[in-house]
Amino acid sequence: MPVARSLIATLGIGAWGLCCAMGANAAGYPTEHQFRQALDEVAGVVRAEGMELKVLDAQKEGLTRPLLSAGLNIEANTCIVFFNTRPEDGLTQFFASLGQRDLSTILRAISVHEVAHCVEQREAYVRQRFDRVLPDAYRQSDMSIQGYLSVVKSGALETWGEALADISSLLYLKQAAPDRWLHLARRISAMRHALAHRWPQHDTSAWLDRLIDANPDIDEGASLFDAAFKYRKQFRPD
């Protein structure tokens, strides 16, 4: 079945853009093979959440959102991720600044970002754990799916949702690249802040800087996303 439009979440046009000088070993804009490889390499993270992963070409599906976007197919319990190889200004400069090794790692982290959107959609629309997916100011004892959806459509949760996804990405970096995670995490946070004038709802740097400074661990036995839910509340800016 098609993914319900209300469950489509996207990284955003400017989320990963960063103006940097192009290095001699610049990686270039990600190709279909690189996208698919990165998503395949994080498929285990998806399966650990009890979901399946499906990867589609955004352009073939008539979608125009750049880089990656995702949505949960509730009936199939599948996280559907769309990749878009069409270069986007800002993103092009960012990827040109990366070496091949960092590109591979960043693409996996971006993939985890998208999976986090599916996880949050499942918590809301399937498990109805509204205490987990809503900030305290929006929590109600009688909250329903329709009530939650109304809050989502208002745009009030856009930064809140991006914070969960970005925190998930950083925690993945900490696990997958412990020797480089601080460097990569700081680049992501700096980029979010630098582009806030264009995409203010995607500026999660206040969360990310606090997480980076705290350098927290994931509790033994906890999933990466369980930790992300916890740290989103813990490191929320005052």
Quick one: 123 and 199 in the same domain? no
Domain membership of residue 235 (yes or no) is no
Four-residue CA torsion sign, 134, 137, 143, 146: negative
pLDDT digits (tens, 9 = 90+) for 97-126: 888 899 999 999 999 999 999 999 999 999
Q: In the structure, what pLDDT confidence band is assigned to residue 199 with cuts at 50, 70 and 90? A: confident
Domain that holds residue 224: 156-230
Q: In the structure, what pLDDT confidence band is assigned to residue 194 with cuts at 50, 70 and 90? A: confident
- The predicted pLDDT at position 26 comes to 56
- The predicted pLDDT at position 163 comes to 97
- The predicted pLDDT at position 219 comes to 73
Judged by DSSP in three states, 184 sits in helix
pTM metric for this prediction: 0.88
Quick one: 103 and 187 in the same domain? no
80 in Cβ contact with 56 (< 8 Å): yes
Quick one: 114 and 75 in the same domain? yes
Structural domain total, the chain: 2
Closest C-alpha to 110, from 49, 45, 158: 45
Question: Greater confidence, 20 or 144?
Answer: 144
What is the C-alpha to C-alpha distance for residues 51 and 45, in angstroms, rounded to an integer? 9
Closest C-alpha to 107, from 44, 195, 193, 16: 16
- The predicted pLDDT at position 195 comes to 74
Kindly tell me if the per-residue pLDDT of 66 is higher than 60. Answer: yes
Judged by DSSP in three states, 83 sits in strand
Kindly tell me if the per-residue pLDDT of 5 is higher than 70. Answer: no
DSSP 19-51: --PPPTT---SPPHHHHHHHHHHTHHHHHHTT-
pLDDT digits (tens, 9 = 90+) for 161-176: 999 999 999 999 999 9
- The predicted pLDDT at position 233 comes to 95
* Sheet containing 8-10: order of strands: 8-10, 67-73, 78-84, 52-57
What is the C-alpha to C-alpha distance for residues 53 and 59, in angstroms, rounded to an integer? 19
Residue 71: count of CB within 10 angstroms of its CB: 23
Domain membership of residue 146 (yes or no) is no
Quick one: 11 and 110 in the same domain? yes
Quick one: 123 and 165 in the same domain? no
